[in-house]
C-alpha cells in the first residue's frame, strides 16, 4: 500500500469516528470546519448546513478557473440484525480483507466518506498543484439529495464540478436518474383477537439487500415482496390477522429483512408450517446462488393473545393484496444506453406497529426519463387508491442528462488516457447524484462524477477496493494540474 493510500485511509478512519447518519451531520460539519480553520481556509455555510471550504490556488494557478470538489457528509446507517452497533455514538472501524476494506456488520461509510478523505488529503498536500478549489460538502444526500436541493447558489463560485460519489474507478459518470418517493397509508380497523387464536412470528432474513439504484437490476430478493408473497400463500380460511409488520429501513436500500406478527385460528399450525416450508424451498430454488443466506422462519409467539388487537380479517387481506400488487424492481431498460436501467422502483419500507391504525408503505421510484417516472408513480398511486389507501409524494429530484460534448469530459478523457494508457468508460447510472441539482443552481456548470471502486453500498456488505484509491488520486492530481493557464 503506497503512502497516499495510507493517508487517505487514515483520514477515512478519522471521519468514521464521527457519527454522521443522514440528518445528523452536526459533528462532522464541526470537525471539518475545525480542520479548515487550522489550515486558514475560508469557511462558508448555508442555512441548510451545506459546507464550502475555499482552498487558495497554488503558485502559478491563481488565474486558473475555480474547481469544485464535491461529496456528501452523511452516510447510510445499515447493520445486520445481530449487530449491536450504535450509529449515534460508535465509531465505524475499518476491517482490512486483502485488497478490500469493509466494516464489522455495518455499512462502511466509504459512500461518501472517501470523497471527504480525498479532498482533505489533496488540500493539505503542498506538493499538489491546483487551481482555486471549493470543497463542497453537502448534508442529507442519502435521504433524497436534500442538501443539494436546498443549496444556496451563492455558497459556491466555481463552474467546474468534480463529484467524487461514483463507485467504479475508470468509469466517468455523466448522467443519472431522477427520483420520486411515494408514501402510502392504508387505514385499517383494529379489533380484539378472538379467544384461542394463536400468535405467530414470521421472519424473512439473510438477504443481500443493496443500493436501490445500482443493484436494482441484480438477481436479489426484496424481503418486503417475499413477505407479501408468503402471507398471500396462506389461505383466507386460516383467518390470519396482522398484528404488526415491519420491513426495510431506508428509501434507497433494498429490504434485507422483514418481520410480521399475525394471529390464526387455533387449529392451523400444521397447515401454516407446511405452507411456510414450501415457500422457503421455492424461494431458495428461485434465488439460487444470488441469495445463499435467505431464511424464512415461522415461530409460535410466546406472548399471550389476551387483550391483543390486530387488523380485521378483511383489512389484513386488503393489506396483503396491496403489498402483493405493488411493483418492485426494473420497470424498463434504457433504449439509449445498453445495459442501463431506465426506470425502476424499490418497495422500500413497511411499518405497522401495535399502536397504529394504518399500514405505512414507502416506494422509491427512479428514472432517467422524467415522463416515465411520472408514469410509474401514477401506476403505484392507482394501485394504492384501488386498495382504499391514500398517497403523497416527496423528495422529487430531476435526472442529470448527459452532455457528451462537455469540455470537462474531453479534458478528463485526455488526462486519463495519457496517465493510464487506455480510455475510460463513460456512463450514466441508475442512481441519484447531486450533480443535476447543483448544476440547476448555477448556469453553465460543467460536471463529471468519478471515484474509487465500492461494492454493496447501502448494505452491511459495503466494501472499498484499496488499489483503486491511488488510481483515483493520481487522476485527480493530474486533472487539476491540467488547468494551468
Bridge-partner residues for 258, per DSSP? 204, 247
d(CA 353, CA 248): 14
- Answer whether 311's CB lies under 8 Å from 261's CB: no
CB neighbours of 98 closer than 8 A, spacing ≥ 6?
A: none
Q: Which of 316, 319, 327, 364 lies closest to 185, judged by CA? A: 319
- Answer whether 233's CB lies under 8 Å from 304's CB: no
d(CA 398, CA 432): 9
- Answer whether 315's CB lies under 8 Å from 323's CB: no
d(CA 249, CA 252): 9
Q: Which of 430, 400, 426 lies closest to 412, judged by CA? A: 426
DSSP 278-302: HHHHHHHHHHGGGSTT-EEEEEE-S
Other CB atoms within 10 A of residue 393 CB? 14
CB neighbours of 243 closer than 8 A, spacing ≥ 6?
A: 193, 199, 261, 262, 263, 308, 309, 310, 311, 354
d(CA 162, CA 361): 36
Q: Which of 334, 345, 356 lies closest to 251, judged by CA? A: 345
Residues designated as active site: 74, 141
CA distance readout (Å), 6 to 39, 324, 454: 21, 49, 17
- Answer whether 82's CB lies under 8 Å from 257's CB: no
d(CA 314, CA 244): 15
Residue 301, Cβ density class (10 Å: 0-12 exposed, 13-18 middle, ≥19 buried): middle
Amino acid at each position: 500500500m503506497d503512502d497516499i493510500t495510507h493517508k487517505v485511509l487514515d483520514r477515512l478512519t478519522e471521519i468514521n469516528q464521527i457519527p454522521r447518519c443522514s440528518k445528523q451531520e452536526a459533528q462532522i460539519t464541526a470537525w471539518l470546519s475545525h480542520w479548515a480553520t487550522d489550515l486558514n481556509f475560508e469557511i462558508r455555510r448555508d442555512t441548510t448546513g451545506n459546507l464550502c471550504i475555499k482552498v487558495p490556488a497554488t503558485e502559478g494557478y491563481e488565474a486558473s478557473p475555480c474547481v469544485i470538489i464535491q461529496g456528501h457528509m452523511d452516510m447510510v446507517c445499515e447493520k445486520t440484525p445481530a449487530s449491536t452497533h450504535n450509529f449515534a455514538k460508535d465509531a465505524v472501524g475499518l476491517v482490512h480483507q486483502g485488497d478490500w476494506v469493509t466494516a464489522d456488520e455495518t455499512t462502511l461509510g466509504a459512500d461518501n466518506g472517501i470523497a471527504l478523505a480525498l479532498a482533505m488529503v489533496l488540500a493539505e498536500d503542498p506538493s499538489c498543484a491546483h487551481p482555486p478549489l471549493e470543497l463542497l460538502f453537502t448534508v442529507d444526500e442519502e435521504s433524497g439529495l436534500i442538501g443539494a436541493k436546498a443549496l444556496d447558489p451563492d455558497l459556491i463560485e466555481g463552474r467546474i464540478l468534480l463529484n467524487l460519489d461514483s463507485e467504479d474507478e475508470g468509469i466517468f459518470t455523466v448522467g443519472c436518474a431522477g427520483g420520486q418517493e411515494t408514501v402510502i397509508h392504508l387505514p385499517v380497523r383494529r379489533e380484539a383477537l378472538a379467544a384461542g387464536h394463536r400468535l405467530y412470528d414470521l421472519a424473512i432474513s439473510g438477504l443481500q439487500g443493496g443500493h436501490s439504484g445500482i443493484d436494482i437490476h441484480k438477481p436479489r430478493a426484496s424481503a418486503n415482496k417475499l413477505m407479501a408473497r408468503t402471507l398471500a400463500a396462506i389461505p383466507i380460511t386460516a383467518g390470519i390477522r396482522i398484528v404488526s409488520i415491519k420491513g426495510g429501513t431506508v428509501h434507497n436500500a433494498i429490504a434485507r429483512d422483514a418481520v410480521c406478527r399475525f394471529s390464526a385460528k387455533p387449529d392451523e399450525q400444521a397447515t401454516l408450517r407446511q405452507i411456510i416450508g414450501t415457500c422457503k424451498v421455492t424461494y431458495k430454488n428461485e434465488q439460487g446462488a444470488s441469495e445463499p443466506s435467505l431464511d424464512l422462519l415461522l415461530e409460535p409467539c410466546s406472548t399471550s393473545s389476551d387483550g391483543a388487537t390486530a387488523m380485521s380479517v378483511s383489512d389484513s387481506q386488503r393489506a396483503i393484496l396491496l403489498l402483493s400488487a405493488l411493483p418492485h424492481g426494473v420497470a424498463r431498460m434504457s433504449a439509449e444506453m445498453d445495459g442501463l436501467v431506465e426506470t425502476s422502483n424499490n418497495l422500500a419500507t413497511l411499518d405497522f406497529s401495535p399502536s397504529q391504525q394504518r399500514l405505512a408503505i414507502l416506494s422509491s421510484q427512479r428514472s432517467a426519463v422524467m415522463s416515465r417516472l411520472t408514469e410509474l408513480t401514477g401506476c403505484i398511486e392507482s394501485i394504492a387508491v384501488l386498495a382504499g389507501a391514500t398517497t403523497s409524494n416527496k423528495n422529487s429530484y430531476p435526472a442529470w442528462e448527459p452532455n457528451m460534448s462537455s469540455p470537462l469530459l474531453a479534458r478528463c478523457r485526455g488526462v486519463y488516457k495519457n496517465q493510464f494508457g487506455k480510455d475510460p468508460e463513460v456512463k450514466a447510472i441508475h442512481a441519484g447524484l447531486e450533480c443535476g441539482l447543483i448544476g440547476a443552481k448555477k448556469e453553465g456548470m460543467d460536471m463529471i462524477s468519478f471515484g474509487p471502486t465500492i461494492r454493496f453500498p447501502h448494505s452491511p456488505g459495503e466494501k472499498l477496493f484499496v488499489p483503486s484509491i491511488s488510481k483515483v488520486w493520481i487522476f485527480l492530481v493530474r486533472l487539476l494540474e491540467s488547468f494551468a493557464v
